[in-house]
């Protein structure tokens, strides 16, 4: 594909898929971090 030409169909699919994939990675990561830090906080207090 030409770099100069902007195909809106392709790039909307790419950006939506990228967004959902990032969501799929960072949602569970945030949850794990929250659960692990909860225990560390409990130990401190």
Binding site for another protein (CB under 8 A): 1, 3, 5, 7, 9-10, 12-14, 16-17, 20-21, 23-25, 27-29, 31-32, 35-36, 38-40, 43
Closest approach of another protein to the CB of residue 12, in Å: 6
- Token couple for 8: 């809106």
Q: How far apart are CA 25 and CA 27, in angstroms?
A: 6
Q: For another protein, give the closer residue by CB, 3 or 45.
A: 3
The answer to whether 25 and 31 are in contact (CB under 8 A) is no
Q: For another protein, give the closer residue by CB, 9 or 45.
A: 9
Residue 6 region, left (φ>0) first, then alpha (ψ -120 to 50), else beta?
Answer: beta
């Amino acid at each position: 594909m030409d770099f100069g030409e902007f195909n809106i169909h392709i790039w909307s699919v790419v950006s939506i898929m990228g967004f959902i994939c990032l969501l799929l990675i960072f949602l569970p990561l945030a949850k794990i971090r929250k659960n692990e830090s909860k225990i560390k906080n409990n130990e401190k207090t």
